[in-house]
Structure 1
Amino acid sequence: MKKVGLVGFGIWGRNILRDLISLGVEVLVFDPEESKEKEASELGASFFSINWDPSHQVDAWIISSPAITHFEVLIDLIPSDKPIFVEKPLTCSLEEAIELEKYVDRPIFVMHNWRYHGGIKLLSEIVKSGELGELRFLKSNRCNWTSPRSDVDSVWTLIPHDITIAYSILGHFPEPISAVEETYRGIARGMTAILGKSIPCVFEVSNRYYDKRREVRLHFEKGVAVLPDEKVDYIEIYFGDDRSKPDSVQMEKRKFEARAPLLEELSQFIDFLFGGKEPPTSLSEGIMVIKTIARLKELSRLK
């Protein structure tokens, strides 16, 4: 049995603990709020209200503390020389991301869970197969109402998903071209961003939509492939080019295994602890995501 130290027991930390327990992992939870001890214990973890400590005898660390603390916790835990899995965003500062570049050779990974989503994997396979011709356009929507996260704005919490989705599908990070940020009382609540030159990518993220939207669509020369929602187990494929008549377009629903992305990424991380291959979501990838967000925010401020 592997022993993992989980730093942070908020909304996402509870989900992480649940899945770690299901994977047969012994978990030590570190959170300053003593009121959380009962729940953590009932789920099967040992609870510590003291600060995380790299001297604890664990096989790995998972960081699920507030996003603005990720850098601080990472710097404290890196000396333990244990593998680390940190929730996204890696950090909320370009300067901190650049500081972390000195550790890219360490076993540090970022929890970009859409990289493990069966629908995104299938879309990537369709691109590689060439069955719909060349990819011409990528668009994603990530919209809902408000956010439980109060430490950072919605752009930092939402758009990392879309950037990593594009990376999974394209095989590279698209270059930021322009962005418009929606702000209220000086706080960003949404962004529409354009990235990429040869294959344009449009990301829309917002917490001003009453209905929850999670769509990823790819436009090809010979058709369109759409993941209509995060919880479905199929891709919609529409066969037809830009001149096809509506009544001639054929639609196929192509199934994929809808395993929970969080469980998938945690499973790969635990397999790595037993000598398996590294999770694909490296520290270098996490740093590139932060650099991309920082550039988009800079573009949104240009007049």
Structure 2
Amino acid sequence: LGTKLIVAECCRNLSTVGATPIAATNNLNFGNPERPEIMAQLVKAIEGLAEACTAFETPITGGNVSLYNETLGQPIYPTPVVGIVGLLPIRVPPPVEFPEPGLAVMLLGGFGQCDEVRFGGTEYAKVVVGQIWGLPPELDLEYEKRVQAATRELVNLGLLRSAHDLSRGGLGAALARCSFGAATIGAQVDLQAEGRLELALFHEAPSRVLVTTAEPGAVMDVARRYGIQAPVIGITQERWLEVRHGGKTVIRLDVEWLRQEWEMALPRTLASWTAVRELAPGR
């Protein structure tokens, strides 16, 4: 399932710029295949890769395998890497960033579904909770294909002012990333969902694309034709990223501050490592 999710995400990335996926390559990284559990991982990854590439009509053109990746007997996480190439019409694709205030913010594919079991593989679980557990997100390949086809049509009709697929970090990370443009445009968004805030904001269900448009009615017409959800979840605005959940504003951040925190995350981490090495030489 994990490998199928990777292929779907690669194809979804291409679809957000209006490109049609046409071929794939891969790099499969695993531990010692002489151990039955590692061989099982490798077999399942190959089967998932074959199923997804068949579904998206992206034949494998080549690839390589790296095995025996272990340290002190501990294997790396199963790490299939996939690259997909596509054909792009000659036109300027929509940007990732929100371009201007007053645009409708829509979620092609809908809010998605997630429970505690499938939340354990998210970036939030790993980084914030400090644990991983459970199962990957569910994937309906046919629905994913319809979301991607609708996205490509909307891009090529010129109806989208921005587009960004949802993957690592879920809707919360996508909203932040879309606010990092030079124009410092954020959004006011209502999650329209019950249950826990962190699940609604940071779950990583596939088949979702965050878009903005000046013509939400036309976008909904295309979405209905493809049989996918496309709720309007908010509106773009200057300076602030605001999120409502359960009738309350739960997040209100200055997008310029948010962008600086994002840009400085790696330099600050590297600086802290340097400081530790200077305090404890030889460690």
TM-score by length of 2: 0.30
Q: Which structure carries more strand by proportion?
A: 1
TM-score by length of 1: 0.29
